[in-house]
């Protein structure tokens, strides 16, 4: 009897012990991983997990984006799952010890990109704020800026989040002394990750990487350059830093007080609150706010070319608008963007430019011929020329591409006529553009992986047989016949002629 009771007691104890153990190894719930950005700010990632036996489902919430997890498994408190796919796929593995969920997130190429301990969270995952009423549409007046496509530098392509006050000053020093300023590269633009928190009065402060924005703007101005900043109409930027949602006037006033001359305004998390069809009104809010400061601030729209922005970008006060998704430093990305732009070239007008994204020249992912094609296409398209490399440290070849004054002159030409396709043959394309004073720019491109001989008959391009022709990459005058010109174009390369 005693024995039997002891067994029953033991049985109850063992069962509750097992229940206790299994409770501790159940990953189900909402977990919050708070990671330092090492600049006084933190980013939050929520893991919404649901464990059933050895299976794990759920989603990851970051910056108002919710992504389903895939292939989730749990074995003895150790777990593994994947998020996203392709190049953007992340794998997450970790273990649960007590109340701590240790996680390690790796990129597709196996690099650890996030590591830390998540805690059970009473906070629900990212809930977007309710939309604010949007104003009726009206035409924001032309601010009179950017009469030719803006030229300068932007931090994102090369530095990403590794940008700070010291680096921006060094970039400005370099641009003032390495020939860039003289060639017209004037704007020194800080992209995402400068932002700190907003105070109770609504004023945004920079994070610890930028101790004094006004002093930084003064410094850049002292070099004869101008300075740009970055924000989003959403509550957060694409890198999950504080955006301007509901604080457009506060922020425009702060940028003006600091002495900024250029704003890139990036849609990002606004998509969690608004529909694409609301974009025009939301961009207009910032267009109006910038003009109300009475400081000349170039307004650069970044919404990846959605909603045919070239039809309304100028009406919201925009000086330029991105026409595509993000460029990457490789031939496939750059050429896909460049060769898709001719059809919208006519929408660029004085002060209001198509922006096929910042330059990658000098970042190392393309050959010099490919970078020449990049510079030629962007100049033929009258695009903003925003260098995206580390201009403190440029090879002679990179410098000779970015600082080719004859090519820059094509970009900055004031004739106001768009480039058009003169001829396409296999993997080659020939573009022409009428320039000021009756000159013509003629660009040959070769997308193929063999060198190509490409001939243009003047009559095919509606061009008069020129008296004078100059090859702007070879830096020499060339002989042309009465009927046309044959260019030898290297693999992924270009030949650019100035004709008159």
The catalytic site residues sit at 266, 326
| Length in residues, the chain | 500
Least distance to ligand GLA, CB of residue 383, Å: 14
Of 328 and 457, nearer to ligand GLA (C-beta) is 328
Does the footprint of ligand GLA cover residue 329 (CB under 6 A)?
no
Of 273 and 302, nearer to ligand GLA (C-beta) is 302
Rounded Cα–Cα distance for residues 162 and 38 (Å): 10
Pick the stretch among 82-90, 104-112, 236-244, 460-468 that binds ligand GLA (CB under 6 A).
236-244
Pick the stretch among 14-22, 212-220, 233-241, 402-410 that binds ligand GLA (CB under 6 A).
233-241
Does the footprint of ligand GLA cover residue 164 (CB under 6 A)?
no
Of 238 and 401, nearer to ligand GLA (C-beta) is 238
**Do residues 452 and 423 touch, judged by C-beta distance below 8 A?**
no
Does the footprint of ligand GLA cover residue 191 (CB under 6 A)?
yes
Q: Which residue has the tokens 């998540």?
A: 118
Least distance to ligand GLA, CB of residue 266, Å: 5
> Among residues 60, 302, 422, 443, which is the contact residue for ligand GLA, using CB under 6 A?
302
Report the 10 Å Cβ neighbour count for 304.
16
Does the footprint of ligand GLA cover residue 326 (CB under 6 A)?
yes
> Among residues 61, 164, 165, 192, which is the contact residue for ligand GLA, using CB under 6 A?
192
333-340: which pairs have CB atoms within 8 A and are 24 or more residues apart? 334/360, 334/366, 334/370, 334/373, 334/374, 335/370, 335/373, 335/447, 335/492, 338/373, 338/374, 338/377, 338/378, 338/381, 339/377, 339/429, 339/445, 339/447
- The DSSP code sequence of 269-283 is GGGGTS-GGGHHHHH
Does the footprint of ligand GLA cover residue 387 (CB under 6 A)?
no
Residue 1: HSE in the Cβ half-sphere, 13 Å Cα cutoff: 0
Beta strands in 295-427 (DSSP E): 298-302, 320-322, 353-355, 385-387, 420-425
Q: Which residue has the tokens 């001829």?
A: 423
> Among residues 60, 118, 180, 239, which is the contact residue for ligand GLA, using CB under 6 A?
239
Least distance to ligand GLA, CB of residue 72, Å: 28
Least distance to ligand GLA, CB of residue 218, Å: 25
Rounded Cα–Cα distance for residues 216 and 218 (Å): 5
> In 95-237, which residue ranges form alpha helices assigned H by DSSP?
156-159, 165-177, 180-183, 213-222
**Do residues 90 and 73 touch, judged by C-beta distance below 8 A?**
no
Does the footprint of ligand GLA cover residue 360 (CB under 6 A)?
no
Pick the stretch among 7-15, 59-67, 88-96, 232-240 that binds ligand GLA (CB under 6 A).
232-240
Least distance to ligand GLA, CB of residue 304, Å: 7
Pick the stretch among 75-83, 214-222, 231-239, 487-495 that binds ligand GLA (CB under 6 A).
231-239
**Do residues 153 and 386 touch, judged by C-beta distance below 8 A?**
yes
- The DSSP code sequence of 230-258 is EE-SSSB-TTS-B--TT-HHHHHHHHHHH
Q: Over 160-179, what HEC string results?
A: CCCCCHHHHHHHHHHHHHCC
Pick the stretch among 12-20, 234-242, 359-367, 465-473 that binds ligand GLA (CB under 6 A).
234-242
Does the footprint of ligand GLA cover residue 386 (CB under 6 A)?
no
Binding-site string for ligand GLA from residue 119 to residue 158, where x marks contact by CB under 6 A and - marks none:
-------------------------------------x--
Rounded Cα–Cα distance for residues 26 and 99 (Å): 10
Of 194 and 473, nearer to ligand GLA (C-beta) is 194
Contact positions vs ligand GLA (CB under 6 A): 156, 191-192, 237-239, 266, 302, 326
């Amino acid at each position: 009897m005693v024995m039997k009771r002891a067994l029953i007691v033991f049985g109850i104890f063992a069962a509750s012990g097992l229940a206790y153990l299994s409770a501790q190894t159940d990953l189900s719930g909402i977990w919050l991983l708070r990671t330092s950005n090492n600049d006084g700010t933190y980013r939050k990632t929520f893991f919404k997990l649901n464990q059933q036996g050895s299976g794990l489902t759920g989603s990851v919430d970051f910056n108002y984006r919710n992504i389903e997890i895939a292939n989730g498994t749990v074995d003895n408190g150790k777990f593994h799952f994947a998020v996203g796919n392709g190049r953007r796929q992340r794998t997450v593995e970790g273990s649960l010890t007590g109340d701590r969920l240790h996680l390690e997130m790796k990129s597709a190429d196996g690099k650890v990109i996030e590591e830390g301990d998540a805690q059970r969270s009473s906070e629900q995952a990212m809930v977007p704020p309710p939309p604010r009423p949007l104003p009726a549409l009206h035409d924001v007046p032309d601010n009179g800026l950017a009469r030719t496509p803006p030229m300068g530098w932007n931090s994102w392509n090369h530095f990403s989040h590794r940008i700070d006050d010291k680096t921006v000053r060094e970039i400005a020093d370099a641009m003032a002394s390495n020939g860039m300023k003289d060639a017209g590269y004037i704007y020194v633009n800080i992209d995402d990750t400068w932002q700190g928190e907003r105070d109770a009065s609504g004023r945004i402060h920079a994070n610890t990487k930028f101790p004094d924005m006004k002093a930084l703007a003064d410094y850049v101005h002292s070099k004869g350059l101008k300075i740009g900043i970055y924000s989003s109409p959403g509550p957060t930027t694409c890198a999950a830093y504080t955006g301007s949602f509901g604080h457009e006037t506060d922020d425009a006033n702060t940028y003006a007080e600091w002495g900024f001359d250029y704003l890139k305004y990036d849609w990002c998390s606004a998509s969690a609150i608004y529909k694409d069809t609301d974009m025009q009104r939301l961009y207009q809010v910032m267009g109006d706010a910038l003009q109300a400061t009475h400081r000349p601030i170039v307004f650069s729209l970044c919404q990846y070319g959605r909603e045919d922005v070239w039809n309304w970008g100028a009406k919201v006060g925009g000086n330029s608008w991105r026409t595509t998704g993000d460029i990457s430093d490789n031939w496939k990305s750059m050429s896909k963007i460049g060769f898709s732009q001719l059809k919208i070239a006519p929408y660029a007008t004085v002060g209001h430019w198509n922006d096929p994204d910042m330059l990658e020249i000098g970042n190392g992912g393309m050959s010099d011929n490919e970078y020449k094609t990049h510079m030629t296409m962007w100049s033929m398209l009258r695009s903003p020329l925003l260098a995206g490399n580390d201009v403190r440290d440029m090879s002679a070849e990179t410098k000779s591409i970015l600082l080719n004054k004859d090519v820059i002159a094509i970009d900055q030409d004031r004739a106001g006529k768009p480039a058009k396709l003169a001829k396409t043959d296999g993997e080659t394309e020939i573009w022409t553009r009428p320039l000021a004073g009756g000159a013509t720019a003629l660009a040959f491109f070769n997308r193929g992986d063999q060198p190509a001989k490409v001939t243009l008959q003047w009559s095919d391009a509606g061009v008069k047989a020129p008296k004078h022709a100059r090859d702007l990459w070879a830096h020499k005058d060339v002989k042309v016949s009465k009927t046309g010109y044959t260019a030898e174009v290297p693999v992924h390369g270009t030949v650019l002629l100035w004709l008159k």
